[in-house]
Structure 1
Amino acid sequence: MRTVQYELMRPGELLAEKERFSVAYLPVGPLEWHGPHMPFGTDPLDAQAVARGVAQKIGGVVFPTLYCGTERARTPQELQCMGFEEEDLYVVGMDVPANPVKSCYFPEEAFGMILREYLLQIVEQGFRLVVIVNGHGASGQLATGERLAREFTHNTPATVLFTRAMQKLEEGDQRLGHANISETAMQMYISGDSVDLSQLPPREVPLKTCDWGIADALEFQGLGNAAHTVEQDPRDATAQLGRRYVENGVQRISDQVLAAYAELEPRQGTKA
């Protein structure tokens, strides 16, 4: 299989691929708590696996993963949905008080500066399309990535596309979340040895978000259950399900990239 990783490519290989299909992928995600059963690099590792899959499928070069991301303090409404009753509690992202280790979150403005500089380095290498493959769903992360993608697309010779590594398998898919069944399954497929389900309690013990820092996506939307427990249980995860999510991300992003690449030619002459 051809090399798609920038750090492993010789100059001639890089120039040839850039001439053939001038697309660069940048996987992004923070080092973040994902329950006691998952590695801290879950988000960037997911993004990296999907980015490499896309490059191997349709072409392009994958730049070294940016292990960096941001989070905001939870609102009182969000904390209530997560099962907290204390007033004036301050929780950033998924760093609930019960966690024994903190996540490595960057302030939103610092994350924006770091991502901006990395994008500048890639654009200066002459890639026509840059694809940010994001593994983290925080609102600040999404807003920053989308803002920079628009800014670079309108103010540089390159087009920048902001995408998400994990996407729904079908319209009604409710399994997405944080360290729940979907992310656990993806990590089991990508690097199975890094997942240890025995670190979670026995099946009869419900997983409360405020105790474990694990949550369903619906919970963040205020649509979780009254007990504030995880319904999409990570203990039900399988590598087979994880493969479906990875392959789904690869296919969906491949379609986005090919569509965006097909539109590049008429736009090239309109940029400064």
Structure 2
Amino acid sequence: MYIADQTWPELGDYVAESSLAVVPLGSTEQHGPHLPLATDHLIAESLARDAAGKTGFLCTPTVNVGVSPHHRQFHGTMWVDAPQFRDYVESMTRNLAYHGIDRVVYVNAHGGNVQHLREVGRRLRDDGTMYAIEWMWDKSIPDLVTDLFDHPGPHGGPKETAMIMHIARDLVREDQLEDARDGGRTTFKGRDYREHGARTFYDAIENSENGVFGDQTDATPEAGATLFEAASDQLVRLLEWLDAQPIDDLLAPAHADPQPGERR
């Protein structure tokens, strides 16, 4: 159920019966010469809408701009600073709580958002507002990703390329796949850019001239469909599990005994 398509009385009927919402988040950032800047938010929204449609849970509009300053040197990349991103997502999520939602899954498709969504979830849980967790599609199916691709890459690689081939093939510049591979890095390990234990880089362009990693020529629409269905299935299972949990079991546990001030 997509929230913006509903009327307010219809949403009243929903929150009278259910208390879970799905919030898709991504980014608007470079994904090499072959993929659109919309890659992350297209994947997040498509998976969130699909899983919500299968389960009947509420899906919100997508947060399309995320924490992406590490791609800022590439034309068109948009970002918000981390504190503003956290505050915006938290404020929007508290809005859902006001209407009766007490559990949220952030359907995320951008690695730069992960730690900030985790922090927002902690804030909301610690003050007893609700239980909110971050879910990243490729982290839900890691074995499938490595089975399908020899060089999946962390950004703009064949896994994202295949997903966009499945979701919106007309947006993939298929004539640029070899250039994407040859102008970027096929493999990437964080230790490649460390000195004496210190991570010495901040921006993607420092590691890849065109900003992408992996062998994009391995991507196919068929592989994208396989990834999409597997990830959607994992998300459906997560939503159904979360819906079944008593809210008291999800919120922060009480302080260890003795309780503060108990012996005064």
Give the TM-score normalised by the residue count of structure 1.
0.75
Q: CA-to-partner distance for each residue in 1:202-232, whole Å, 9 max, x for gaps?
A: 6xx85232xxxxx56x6153479xx979774
Q: Does 1:119 align with 2:96?
A: no
> Among residues 238, 243, 247, which one is paired with 1:261 in the alignment?
243
Q: Does 1:142 align with 2:142?
A: no
What letter matches 1:164 in structure 2? M
Q: Does 1:22 align with 2:19?
A: yes
Cα distance in 1 for residues equivalent to 2:172 and 2:142: 25
Question: Contact 1:21–1:59 (CA<8 Å) still a contact in 2?
Answer: no
Aligned position for 1:208? 183
Count of residues in correspondence between the two structures: 233
Q: CA-to-partner distance for each residue in 1:20-41, whole Å, 9 max, x for gaps?
A: 3321111111110011221111
What letter matches 1:36 in structure 2? P
Q: 5+ unaligned residues in a row in structure 2: which ranges?
A: 147-151, 194-206, 254-264
Q: CA-to-partner distance for each residue in 1:3-62, whole Å, 9 max, x for gaps?
A: x11111122332233333321111111110011221111111111111111111222111
Aligned position for 1:80? none
Aligned position for 1:42? 39
**Superposition CA RMSD, Å:** 2.9
1:223 and 1:263, CA in 2 relative to 1: closer, same or farther beyond 3 A? farther
Cα distance in 2 for residues equivalent to 1:222 and 1:260: 37
Question: Contact 2:125–2:251 (CA<8 Å) still a contact in 1?
Answer: no
What letter matches 1:109 in structure 2? P
Aligned position for 1:179? 156
Cα distance in 2 for residues equivalent to 1:107 and 1:16: 37
Question: Contact 2:154–2:213 (CA<8 Å) still a contact in 1?
Answer: no
Cα distance in 1 for residues equivalent to 2:134 and 2:189: 22
Cα distance in 1 for residues equivalent to 2:252 and 2:191: 44
Q: Name segments (4+ residues, structure 1) moved above 6 Å.
A: 227-231, 268-271
Percent of pairs with identical residues: 22
Aligned position for 2:134? 162
Aligned position for 1:198? 175
How far apart are residue 168 of structure 1 and its match?
5.3
Q: 5+ unaligned residues in a row in structure 1: which ranges?
A: 72-91, 210-214
SS at match of 1:166: helix
What letter matches 2:50 in structure 1? G
SS at match of 2:67: coil
Q: Does 1:69 align with 2:66?
A: yes
